[in-house]
Amino acid sequence: MENTINIILSLPTLLNQHGNPDGAVQDLVEAYRNYFNEYPEPSQLSVWKFITGDFIKIVDGFPTFAEFPIFNLERADYVIVDSTDALIIEEKGWKNLEIIDNRIVKADGKLHLDPCYQLNNYVFKFNYFHSSGLKLKYSGILFLYNNRSYSSDDCQIAHTFDELKSYIEKFRKPEGQDIVEIVRNGHFHVSEDIIDLIIKNKDEILSNTSISLLGRGYGLTENQALLVRDVIDAIEKNEDTTFLVKGSSGSGKTLVAVELLLEAFAKKYKVFLAYRNNRLLNTLRQILETRDGKYNLSPNIIFYSTGRGEGIGEDNFPVEKYGSIDLVIYDEAQRMTEAVIKTTNNRSKVKVYFYDENQILIGDEAGTYYNFKKYCNNISEYEFPSVFRISRSYLDFVNKILDGSDPPKLRGYSVRIFDRITDMFEDLTKLKSKGNKIALMCAFTESNGDKKIQRAPRIGGLAIHYHQAWTFIRDQVSIFTG
């Protein structure tokens, strides 16, 4: 009997492995469906169908990846590789473009990230953070096929397939397939966090924040950039506004908080960045302090809660000392008490709360969506997606497992639940011996966290990923209360 091998495609997909548009589009749909567990939007499908016909002819002979995930927050449209170089192509079908500021444009009536900024953000992220950046040098080109009015000195632009083709022809066609595997099996890894980066390049970053951070791989995503613009716009209009920003770990909250501080300070607004975490606050104070005083932001890093009543969200804060405040940014706002939330709402005209309810640890921490809505006025809501790819169906799937329910069927996944961790590792060892790739995806534990104010414990867990299968264990979970 003939053996049948089912290949499950996932992003990024090799666009030209079939050499025809229909096969490429079919692969993209299947890969997208496996990656997100849902079908692409009709608008996305239309773009794929329009682009792939002529595009496949242009990239003939070059391995070309489509929809390349970048930290699972963004996706580069196309990545072409040769033996020593790689080209990122960002395509846009916008007809009308108006530049709003150095990061935002109005495209066909809606605000979006400037396409050259977006492209350069991808290029720098690949060069700095992707493992293939050690072998390949990445560059980029913007394919703006419906507009000729937009121009920029910040990136290369092609308006027609012929212009794009002439640019691609400058590259050398690779020999062998080794480079394909280097790119496809590569990974993104942040080798230097935002705090370390500022320490090493403080003067340059403080004098030209957005460009300096972009050039080191720390450009903003579209929704992050739109938040920064909206906050600065609210300050300029002197509007009493609350920005409520929900984001899980790794979603870029601290990056945006620091960028907001630096940009508002550069525009000479009275701005503060507030924390409850003593260690993080002191670290930021040290790295943002300069001897010449030109860019000394150390005094602009303050506590929102001290326990002694002196934080900006407490009764003994010296309001008269600071006068009218334009903006206060509250990072890790989930750690606020209800009283602090209520007080901080009156400390400045514009306030930004970054919070993650899943990180509430101690009983008096009350920084929840419900409480912010209860005490704050004129709220604009934002949500930063996590760097980890999690779909709604997958979250429901996991919650039912942790609740002890029978796990639902999820396309492309299999689940095995073990009572003993040794059984799980024995099973995974067998899978590995058959050539399956195994990696630890997450591990966490939780405790009540406070000896006096007890919280209901939640189950901890471990997940192992091999190809498209997930294994969960519910075993040896201990809750320590003191």
The domain limits of the chain are 13-184, 194-384, 392-473
pLDDT at 477 over 80: no
Q: What is the mean pLDDT of residues 292-320?
A: 82
- Look at residue 202 in the predicted model and tell me its pLDDT: 64
pLDDT at 112 over 90: yes
pLDDT at 276 over 90: no
The band of 233, judged by pLDDT with boundaries at 50, 70 and 90, is very high
pLDDT at 281 over 50: yes
| Rounded percentage of the chain residues whose pLDDT exceeds 90 | 35
- Look at residue 180 in the predicted model and tell me its pLDDT: 79
The band of 237, judged by pLDDT with boundaries at 50, 70 and 90, is very high
- Look at residue 2 in the predicted model and tell me its pLDDT: 32
Q: What is the mean pLDDT of residues 440-466?
A: 43
Q: Which fold has domain 194-384?
A: Rossmann fold (3.40.50)
- Look at residue 127 in the predicted model and tell me its pLDDT: 93
- Look at residue 3 in the predicted model and tell me its pLDDT: 33
pLDDT at 236 over 80: yes
Q: What is the mean pLDDT of residues 330-343?
A: 94
From residue 33, how far is each of 77, 390, 393, 412 by CA, in Å? 16, 13, 13, 10
Mean pLDDT of the chain: 79
Select the more confidently predicted residue: 216 or 162: 162
The band of 19, judged by pLDDT with boundaries at 50, 70 and 90, is low
How do residues 178-228 score in pLDDT, each as one tens digit? 777 778 778 888 766 666 676 666 666 666 666 777 888 888 999 999 999
pTM: predicted TM-score of the whole model, two decimal places: 0.76
Lowest mean pLDDT of 54-58, 109-113, 431-435, name the range. Answer: 431-435
How do residues 387-444 score in pLDDT, each as one tens digit? 655 545 555 665 665 565 665 555 555 566 667 778 878 888 887 787 766 655 444 4
